[in-house]
Amino acid sequence: MSVRRRLVIGNWKMNGSKAENEQLLSDLVKLQNAAAANQAAELAVCAPFPYLQQVADILKDSAISWGGQDVSEHAKGAYTGEVSVAMLAEFGCAWAIVGHSERRAYHGEGSDVVARKAAAAIAGGITPVVCVGETQAEREAGKTLQVISSQLEPVLALGADAVTKMVLAYEPVWAIGTGLTASPEQAQEVHAHIRSLLVQADAPEQRVLYGGSVKAANAASLFAKEDIDGALVGGASLVATDFQGIANA
């Protein structure tokens, strides 16, 4: 019997403003307090870097944790525009998303860089949320599991000590922000594959989140699948009731 606690992480991407964040977070805290007694899921938000202090101030006494949407592979130095794990830790971050498909597609991040970022996060005491996922073309070519394996290869090669400090997220690129969700069966097939790789890596109980147009309406059927341990949520994480609805699912 698995003891993996469900985890729902909001990825705000490049959205928000001080006023909007204030509203969203205070609504979330209220909803969370109301739901706390009967909700088993752990909740987190990953905000744009400039707002981390604001997020920390509002969430510090809540059960909701927070994180960054990326982290540098480097500890410090001449890396203009980058943010280090020590900086994230100073703002109380528990999480750093690494290898999101938008970083891979728009910033040319390959799986080796993603693995180094995951290692840097772990070294700094922050849990990396390592994202993998195939494109529509890769799925149509029957290459989904092969793509997932190769994206995870350098990450799992970090060894069991590292992998047991990670969360993985399966996010089919064709489902992100498109309103198309993988069916629970399609998602479970990939999650089971990832689980088998985790078993080989000696980290069988790591949580594997699903991401890609998760909404309150489709969350329960995804979470019912054996190897789906929660969700990484973009669009729906920007509306407090939608996000809390996913956590309640």
Q: Which residues are annotated binding-site positions for substrate?
A: 11-13, 177, 213, 234-235
Of 124 and 212, CB closest to ligand PGA: 212
Q: Using CB under 6 A as the criterion, what x/- string covers residues 122-161 for binding ligand PGA?
A: ----------------------------------------
Pick the binder of ligand PGA from 234, 242, 245, 246 (CB under 6 A). 234
Task: Determine the Cα–Cα distance for residues 7 and 63; give it in Å rounded to an integer.
Answer: 12
Pick the binder of ligand PGA from 70, 171, 229, 242 (CB under 6 A). 171
Q: Is the dihedral of CA 160, 2, 152, 76 positive or negative?
A: negative
Number of H helices, E strands in the chain: 11, 8
- Minimum Å gap between C-beta 47 and ligand PGA is 13
Which letter does DSSP use for residue 92 in this model? T
Task: Determine the Cα–Cα distance for residues 178 and 104; give it in Å rounded to an integer.
Answer: 18
Of 101 and 188, CB closest to ligand PGA: 101
- Minimum Å gap between C-beta 244 and ligand PGA is 15
Q: In what helix (H) or strand (E) does residue 11 lie, and over which residues does it extend?
A: strand 7-11
- Minimum Å gap between C-beta 179 and ligand PGA is 8
Q: In what helix (H) or strand (E) does residue 197 lie, and over which residues does it extend?
A: helix 184-200
Which of positions 94-123 make contact with ligand PGA (CB under 6 A)? none
Does 69 bind ligand PGA (CB under 6 A)? Our answer is no
3-state class (DSSP) for residue 7: strand
Given the residues 73, 100, 134, 193, the one annotated as active site:
100
Pick the binder of ligand PGA from 44, 130, 176, 216 (CB under 6 A). 176
Pick the binder of ligand PGA from 133, 212, 230, 245 (CB under 6 A). 212
Task: Determine the Cα–Cα distance for residues 235 and 179; give it in Å rounded to an integer.
Answer: 10
Which letter does DSSP use for residue 239 in this model? S
Q: In what helix (H) or strand (E) does residue 45 lie, and over which residues does it extend?
A: strand 42-46
Given the residues 73, 134, 171, 193, the one annotated as active site:
171
Structure tokens at 229: 């341990």
Binding-site residue numbers are: 11-13, 177, 213, 234-235
Does 235 bind ligand PGA (CB under 6 A)? Our answer is yes
| DSSP class per residue in 103-158 | HHHHS---HHHHHHHHHHHHHTT-EEEEEE---HHHHHTT-HHHHHHHHHHHHHTT
Question: Annotated catalytic, 171?
Answer: yes
Of 147 and 201, CB closest to ligand PGA: 147
User: Which residues of this chain interact with ligand PGA, rule CB under 6 A?
Assistant: 11, 171, 176-177, 211-214, 232-236
Active site residues: 100, 171
